Amino acid sequence: VLERIVIGNGAAVKSFSVGALKDCPTLKVIEIYLEPSALPIDHETIKNKPSDCFVYVPAEKYSDFATDYFWSAMMGYVKIIGQE
C-alpha cells in the first residue's frame, strides 16, 4: 500500500508523469526536497491525487514553491514538512 512518496533527498523518484497519482487511493504524503524548478508539475498531475493527500516541502523552500511559475497555482495542496 503506497502512502508516502519522497522526491529528492537521495530518493529514487525524480519526476511525475501526468497520470502518476491517479490510481493511488491510499497516498497521503508527497515529500519534495528538490527546488521547485527541478520538478515542474501541472495541475492535471496534482488534481489526480487523493483529496486527503498533500505535498510537503521544507520550511525554507516553501516561499520558493509559492513563487514558482508551475507550483504557485497549486499552493492549496502544499504544506510545510512537520505540519501533517
Predicted TM-score (pTM) of the model is 0.86
DSSP 3-state helix, strand, coil percentages of the chain (rounded to 5)? Answer: 25, 20, 55
- The pLDDT of residue 23 is 79
Q: Name the average pLDDT for the chain.
A: 85
Q: Among 21-25, 39-43, 47-51, 55-59, which range has the highest average pLDDT?
A: 55-59
> In this predicted model, what pLDDT tens digit does every residue of 47-64 receive, in sequence order?
778 888 899 999 999 999
Q: Specify burial of residue 36 (Cβ count, 10 A radius: 0-12, 13-18, 19+).
A: buried
